[in-house]
Amino acid sequence: MEDFEFYNPVKIFFGKDQLSKISSQIPKDHRVMLLYGGGSIFRNGVYNKVKEAIKDYNVTEFGGIEPNPSYETAMQAVEIIKKDKIDFLLAVGGGSVIDATKFIAAATPYTRGDPWNILSKQIPVTASLPFGTVLTLPATGSEMNKNAVISRISTTEKLAFSSPCSFPRFSVLLPEAAASLPKKQVANGIVDAFVHVTEQYLTYPVNAPIQDRFAEAILKTLIEEGPKVYADPADYDAMANLMWSATMALNGLIQCGVPGDWSVHSIGHELTAFHGIDHAQTLAIVLPGLWKALREEKKDKLLQYGAGVWNITTGTEDERVDAAIAGTVEFFESLGIKTRLSDYSVGRETIERIVKRFEERKWLELGDRGLTTPSVTKQALEYQL
């Protein structure tokens, strides 16, 4: 096992009757900004419940945060926060609202020029406004991690940052609120959580059985519970299992002491930046292609994954690797998520643009052991044409 530090200070309130606890988590004299997306919280009743929970505070609202939240929208919130001297943020929604809030919280006290530098130049975040979250969509794990992904419309870029200053103070996880999700968002959440696990699990063996088994347990739970939620998002028990799986998939626990990859995400972000394809859909395209391109380098873990998650124990090694990749594709497609670039009308020219961009950024050795070179990226995407 590799050396590691593990720190996660996020207080979690999970379940049906948790919103009333918010007021015990925000200092009484604070001015609060309530941030939300395109309006799902009005349709599913979460807005009224949250407003009731924070009725004793001076609250400013900021709505309209879009999926794949933009720098441009986030900076509008920063201006209001500075003008109104707001000192606590409350994000209500999915990963996009939470990520935007993380960026807004970091951009407000930022004094070293344009806050976009936090993303483009990876300038470390050293200060952040405090914030909490109310989660209505199981997918990203943003509710219990220190990462955020922000898009800049003017430059068609989508970049991530991560800082220990950017953990939420608390997160209220509401499986009930997620009952109103369209099937497509449920499927996206299952696939995103699934790939978060594989990014941390499917590298090479370092004799870390506890992390491997945590990872396999999350994957198996997603495979068992995911289809139940996809069939009926109002199935509370299944949704609760999906929500907790997604949180556990990316709260730092399974990354302890093991190598990570994350190149599926890096390539996927480009597909979103260039074509607006949903985050999880990009992962479903890239993951099988990358595994095909790196099947020799990742063989040990592909075999372990096949056996531990899909019960693939017979056949030659090559046959078992093929079956593990095919089973994954079948699972994604069973949730209505297509895995080919052509399914999204994307062709070779996008592959060239992505490879060129990675070369310009000097992203020459991404991921697990630096294996994802520009030529591996090209090959991986060509498998998915």
Which are the contacts of 142, defined by CB distance < 8 A and separation ≥ 6? 95, 98, 99, 102, 133, 148, 250
Residues 39-58 that bind ligand NZQ (CB under 6 A): 39-40, 44
3 state DSSP class of 193: helix
Is the separation of the CB atoms in 271 and 167 below 8 Å? no
Cα-Cα-Cα-Cα dihedral sign, residues 69, 73, 79, 84: negative
Given Zn ion, ligand NZQ, none, residue 202, with its beta carbon under 5 to 8 Å by kind, binds none
Site membership for Zn ion, residue 199 (CB under 5 A): no
Q: CA 295 to CA 301: how far, in whole Å?
A: 10
DSSP H/E element including 188? helix 183-201
- Binding residue for ligand NZQ, selected from 18, 70, 73, 96, defined by CB under 6 A: 96
Given ligand NZQ, Zn ion, none, residue 44, with its beta carbon under 5 to 8 Å by kind, binds ligand NZQ
Site membership for ligand NZQ, residue 261 (CB under 6 A): no
Site membership for ligand NZQ, residue 279 (CB under 6 A): yes
Site membership for ligand NZQ, residue 185 (CB under 6 A): yes
Site membership for Zn ion, residue 157 (CB under 5 A): no
Site membership for ligand NZQ, residue 149 (CB under 6 A): yes
- Binding residue for Zn ion, selected from 143, 157, 176, 192, defined by CB under 5 A: 192
Binding track over 105-124 against ligand NZQ, x by CB under 6 A: --------------------
* Residue 345 burial class via C-beta count within 10 angstroms: exposed 0-12, middle 13-18, buried 19 and up: exposed
| Ramachandran region, residue 367 (left: φ > 0; alpha: ψ -120 to 50; beta: rest) | left
Q: CA 351 to CA 371: how far, in whole Å?
A: 18
For residue 340, report the phi and psi dihedrals to the nearest 5 degrees. -110, 145
How many C-beta neighbours within 10 Å does residue 4 have? Answer: 12
Stretch in the footprint of ligand NZQ (CB under 6 A) among 19-27, 35-43, 204-212, 377-385: 35-43
Stretch in the footprint of ligand NZQ (CB under 6 A) among 52-60, 115-123, 134-142, 371-379: 134-142
Q: CA 354 to CA 9: how far, in whole Å?
A: 36
Using the minimum distance from each CB to ligand NZQ, give the nearer residue, 179 or 307.
Answer: 179
Residues 24-53 that bind Zn ion (CB under 5 A): none
Q: Helix 299-310 and helix 209-231: axis angle, to 10°?
A: 50
Using the minimum distance from each CB to ligand NZQ, give the nearer residue, 168 or 306.
Answer: 168
Site membership for ligand NZQ, residue 247 (CB under 6 A): no
Site membership for ligand NZQ, residue 188 (CB under 6 A): yes
Site membership for Zn ion, residue 99 (CB under 5 A): no
Using the minimum distance from each CB to ligand NZQ, give the nearer residue, 247 or 373.
Answer: 247
Which amino acid appears at position 148 of this protein? A
Q: DSSP strand E in the chain: where?
A: 11-14, 31-35, 58-62, 88-93, 131-135, 147-152, 157-162, 170-173
Stretch in the footprint of Zn ion (CB under 5 A) among 117-125, 160-168, 189-197, 342-350: 189-197
Residues forming contacts to Zn ion in the complex (CB under 5 A) are 192
Residues forming contacts to ligand NZQ in the complex (CB under 6 A) are 37-40, 44, 67-68, 93-97, 99, 136-137, 139-142, 145, 147-149, 177-178, 180-181, 185, 188-189, 192, 250, 265, 279
